[in-house]
Amino acid sequence: MTDSAMFVSEEKRARMIDWCERFRARLDVAPEIRQLETSFGATRVLVTGPEKAPPLLVLHGMMASAAHILPELGSLTRTRRVYAVDVLGQSPCSEDRRLDLEDGSYARWAVEVMDALDLEKVPIFGISWGGFVACRAAIAAPDRVEQLALMVPAGLVKNGLWAGMRDAGWAFMTYKMFPSEARRDRFMRTLFTTLDPEWVAFIDDAFRSFKMDIRIPPIATPAELASIQCPVLVLAAERDASFPGAAMLARVKSCLPAAEVELIEGAKHCPAFTPEFREWLARRIGRFLDA
């Protein structure tokens, strides 16, 4: 056993850190590594892109890291000064601590990260769990978030209990209770649009290494969403088993009529791991930021 808040053992934490290094090796240019101190704990940031380019803060998804998301950003890392943050409670490369989801801790932590990076006001791109954190920061500190781009974000909608079991829950339960390669791949197909072998192996390892965090990020209220003052872009996945795409975009347009929204057709929670999708994403985010 271990005293870790996030990992079942120190050996498993080391395995997850090794995975971060393997994904970082996918980058053509090695990023700068910054270690920040916040009142919530140590936070690692990977920085890449031209020094004089406009900044972009990027927040990754559950059980991943900054190193996982950077290779998926395509040409954004050549047109923006990207600050990819290892999210507390999700990445093994930052403090081994999980924050309260209800008391504004994640928003305060995000603002402290901006302060430590000398980013007075910055666009944020949040993916999945990182989308929840980004949205909370835009709600709590509207003067610090210049633009808000979200892809398959947590905290806006959720799937119903029975639909969730049908779409992914049953496949996950059988995979966890009776592990086999076939059950693993069946579950991965509910999560991934395309089965990248390295991502599949990583997620398989992550589910064995992390102490599962079953907390569900709270759904933002209409009043909270209406308080967001910056331009907003939301990209939802049509076949997302966690956050149904059509329902998400309908709710965003209801609460934020001026927001840009787009449905990624045919995509599941993790969109395609292909050069074509990476470049589409980079162009779409780039158009939004340039506007």
pLDDT at 230: 97
Determine the Cα–Cα distance for residues 43 and 24; give it in Å rounded to an integer: 17
Architecture category of domain 10-160+215-290 in CATH: 3-Layer(aba) Sandwich (3.40)
pLDDT at 259: 97
pLDDT per position in the chain (291 positions), as tens? 468 999 999 999 999 999 999 999 999 889 999 999 999 999 999 999 999 999 999 999 999 999 999 999 999 999 999 999 999 999 999 999 999 999 999 999 999 999 999 999 999 999 999 999 999 999 999 999 999 999 999 999 986 554 555 556 667 777 777 777 788 878 888 889 998 999 999 999 998 999 988 788 999 999 999 999 999 999 999 999 889 999 999 999 999 999 999 999 999 999 999 999 999 999 999 999 998
Q: Which residues is 10 bridged to in the sheet?
A: none
pLDDT at 168: 60
Domain residue ranges in the chain: 10-160+215-290
Instruction: Check if the beta carbon of residue 154 is closer than 8 Å to that of residue 243.
Output: yes
Per-residue pLDDT tens digits for 62-121: 999 999 999 999 999 999 999 999 999 999 999 999 999 999 999 999 999 999 999 999
In this structure, are strands 55-59 and 260-264 parallel, antiparallel, or unpaired? unpaired
Q: 181: which 2 tokens?
A: 């390669």
SS3 track for 223-271: HHHHCCCCCEEEEEECCCCCCCHHHHHHHHHHHCCCCEEEEECCCCCEC
